[in-house]
Structures are given as C-alpha cells and as structure tokens.
C-alpha cells in the first residue's frame, strides 16, 4: 500500500510539472480534467496514509508518536525526488539543510 501511495505522490507531482497525465489512481471526472485528476489523486493518497496510520494506532501496532514520525518520514523520503524534479526544471541550485519546527 505504501509503495502505491509513494507512486501516486511522485508520479502525480511529475505529471503536474511536466503537463502529463499518466494514471496513478483511476479517477473518473467529467470532461477533460488532467490537472485536477492529479490533484485529487495526491490528496486522496494523503487521506489513505492518514487512515492507515490511524488504523495502526487503533490496533495498537504503533503509538501515536510513531504514527507522526512515519507521516513526517514519508515527506522526507519524497523530498529528494522533488529536488531532483525541481533541478530538471531549473529551479534548484543548492538544497538548504532541513530544520525542525
């Protein structure tokens, strides 16, 4: 499930940046809505991750703190892919060091 979510996030973002429409989640929308289809797929993937983590907490498989770590970690895993895509777009010269809130 997590691999599919990562695929939706990465490919959906790439589709938006490159004006492509590769299917990551088969969403039917009226008319031709390639941009909104990608946005909805990315939003849905976030909701699925939240439900997976909530279910794991509810089943006492992980603690709420571990769920937060996993949620934050999923974004950290995606950032190198985002930086690579941004560099292909000419938008990243160097990457700032991460900071905590």
Give 10-residue mean pLDDT values along the chain (101 residues). 92 90 88 90 96 98 97 90 73 64 64
Specify the pTM: 0.76
Distance CA 59, CA 97 (A): 36
Confidence at residue 30, expressed as pLDDT on a 0 to 100 scale? 82
**DSSP 3-state of 86:** helix
Q: Which of 66, 62, 76, 70 has the alpha carbon at shortest distance from 9?
A: 76
Surface-to-core class of residue 30, CB atoms within 10 Å of its CB (0-12 exposed, 13-18 middle, 19+ buried): exposed
């Amino acid at each position: 499930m997590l691999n599919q979510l990562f695929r939706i996030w990465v490919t959906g973002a790439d589709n938006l940046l490159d004006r492509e429409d590769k299917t990551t989640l088969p969403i039917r929308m009226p008319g031709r809505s390639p941009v909104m289809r990608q946005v909805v797929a990315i939003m849905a993937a976030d909701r699925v991750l939240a439900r997976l983590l909530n279910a794991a907490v509810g089943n006492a498989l992980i603690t709420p703190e571990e769920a937060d770590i996993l949620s934050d970690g999923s974004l950290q895993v995606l950032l190198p892919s985002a930086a690579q895509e941004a560099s292909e777009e000419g938008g990243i010269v160097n990457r700032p060091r991460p900071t905590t809130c």
